[in-house]
Amino acid sequence: MVIDFDRTIAYRCAACGEITYGDFSLFELSGKKGISVHCACGESNISITADGRTSFNVELDCVICDSPHKYSLKFDTLAKRDCNDFQCPEVGVGLAFIGKNKSVNMAMEESEAMVGDVLMACGLEHTGKNGILMLKALDKIQDLSENDNLKCHCGSRVIDIEVRENEIVLKCCVCGTKSVIDISEIKKNGFSRLSKIIIGQK
């Protein structure tokens, strides 16, 4: 029997929403340092570090709920199972997959298809790879609106929200003032912490 020590890790970056892939060997996990894979945007990483002799901690920031998540992974499980998935406890979306290359790729593809279905159900299928971020941003904007924190400089609270592929356009239905929120602004971590949006006011 030939034992395959190579493993693949795939995760969704919490900052930019892209999927990042990395390869490692089970031997690389033997040291104290463990391994980590970084997204090309430089804003996030996923790490696997030793937790005692027989298990590991898998840690990453969550693209869905913005919190850091920590999972325990037994060495046995990692060695034997073709694919281990790590989901956000808030929503059943796979954030990361670790295992054999083929199985990980397949699992991520399936997960992408599932996310696609959710986006379709929300009428956001045109946002493509920005889908999850747009969904989150829209949720945030609706949240602000419900709490009276979305308004126009003219005083109006009747705001039209249009989600495009790379931006969200907010338009006041009274005076017509527009505010465009670019995807790069949404990708910045501060967006989810905004306490109010006032259109036409910088």
Q: Does 65 bind Zn ion (CB under 5 A)?
A: yes
CA pair distance 171, 168, nearest whole angstrom: 10
Q: Does 186 bind Zn ion (CB under 5 A)?
A: no
Q: Quick one: which segment of 9-17, 26-34, 71-79, 111-119 binds Zn ion (CB under 5 A)?
A: 9-17
**Which of 64, 124, 168, 181 contacts Zn ion by CB under 5 A?**
64
Instruction: Give me the residue label for tokens 């808030």.
Output: 90
Hey, what are 17's tokens? 């929403």
Q: Does 15 bind Zn ion (CB under 5 A)?
A: yes
Residues 112-151 that bind Zn ion (CB under 5 A): none
Query: For the chain, how far is it from start to end, CA to CA, in angstroms?
Result: 65
User: What letter would DSSP give residue 34?
Assistant: -
User: Length of the chain in residues, anyone?
Assistant: 202
**Which of 62, 96, 135, 197 contacts Zn ion by CB under 5 A?**
62
Of 11 and 24, nearer to Zn ion (C-beta) is: 11
**Which of 35, 119, 152, 159 contacts Zn ion by CB under 5 A?**
152
The footprint of Zn ion on this chain (CB under 5 A) covers a number of residues equal to 17
Hey, what are 146's tokens? 């419900």
- List Cβ neighbours of 93 (8 Å cut-off, separation of 6 or more): 64, 87, 111, 114, 115, 132
Hey, what are 67's tokens? 């919190």
Q: Does 16 bind Zn ion (CB under 5 A)?
A: yes
Q: How far is the CB of 111 from Zn ion (least distance, A)?
A: 14
Q: Quick one: which segment of 13-21, 105-113, 142-150, 189-197 binds Zn ion (CB under 5 A)?
A: 13-21
Helix (H) or strand (E) holding 106: helix 101-121
Of 8 and 179, nearer to Zn ion (C-beta) is: 179
Three-state DSSP state, 194 = coil
- Residues at the contact surface with Zn ion, assessed by CB under 5 A: 13, 15-16, 39, 41, 62, 64-65, 88, 90, 152, 154, 156, 172, 174-175, 177
